[in-house]
Amino acid sequence: MNITKTPFGQVDGKEVFQFTLENNGNMKVSIINYGGIITSLLVPDQTGKIDDVVLGFNNLSDYLLDHPYLGAIVGRYGNRIAKGRFVLNGKEYCLAVNDGENHLHGGIVGFHRVVWAAEEYSAQDGVGVELSYLAKDGEEGYPGNLTTTVRYFLTDQNEIVINYRATTDQPTVVNLTQHSYFNLKGEGCGNILAHEVMINADQYTAVDEGLIPTGELKPVKATPLDFTDFTPIGARIKALPGGYDHNYVLKPENSKPSLAAQVREPESGRVMSVYTTEPGMQFYTGNNLDGTFTGKRGVNYDKHSGFCLETQHFPDSPNHPEFPSTVLNPGEVYRQTTIYRFSTSR
């Protein structure tokens, strides 16, 4: 197992580095400390052929553009908050509005647009990089100084384990997630509509036209959102405007990471399994990719070039007391774990 650190450029005079973690199973993951972005993920297929299965860019300058969160850590609050407002302990907070009339993925300068402190580490069963960032009180409208740590860890079992931790000095709301776009055929190798997906959820959070939850949990059965059995992404996608962009209500078994989803790609035989401690997961099929961005192979990213499985608390939870709480108080510790495990079907 090995870790390499290479310069990747500068942002506002701050050094950006790329950390490449390599295990003994021919798997490599590269992460930069700008945005905590996964820039590359090399995984073998059923014949042993290695390919990069995440969308992204070859250089920092492209990541500095207004891209759709490719590979990034998003926060302080992943997903949407209605009208960029919420009330906490009787006080209303107004956040940056960057998605129509709503707040999305932490705002204009969210966690995806900052340089994190980074430190390599190793253990008996793997290698990793620890990223840390202090989001100051009032940043993007949020209350409290939030100290956040995200640990990426690559194991010999071809797992990327992501551990999140945060503390605050004032009551605030926190909902962190990882926003990689996956294509198990390989980055730049066409769309993801033939990928077969299973999501361990019987319900989803119903939303209005602005993708803000109504508060109702609806069953997926007999709808295009039913992935309780393996189903190709493209089988029913035309029944939905644009494609999938929905939060699924997961069925955690206990406080340990539980199976949230599995994805199979028939051609390569690659299988991706997602485990998490979180109560929800946003399934997004790259509906807004429109060919604007050119990826690592020189191929433009068209609609449905990748899919995201964003483990999270529910969207707009600060405005829905009936949802699992995203409030973090002084003296408490926010923790969550998500695991991406890669294997093959043969």
The catalytic site residues sit at 179, 310
Task: Assign 3-class secondary structure to 164-187.
Answer: EEEEECCCEECECEEECCECCCCC
Alpha-carbon gap, residue 239 to 245, rounded angstroms? 13
SS3 141: helix
SS3 104: strand
**97-250-274-302 Cα dihedral, nearest 10 degrees:** -40
**Residue type for 225, please?**
L
Alpha-carbon gap, residue 141 to 41, rounded angstroms? 34
Contact present, 283 and 250 (Cβ < 8 Å): no
**Which residues, 6+ apart, have CB-to-CB distance to 254 below 8 Å?**
none
- Asked whether the CA dihedral 99, 103, 104, 107 is positive or negative, the reply is positive
Phi, psi of 306 (to 5 degrees): -160, 165
Residue 33 in tokens: 């400390």
Alpha-carbon gap, residue 316 to 239, rounded angstroms? 25
Cα angle 97, 103, 107; round to 5? 75
SS3 250: strand
Contact present, 20 and 29 (Cβ < 8 Å): yes
Nearest to 311 by CA among 284, 289, 333, 285: 284
Nearest to 37 by CA among 134, 128, 123, 115: 115
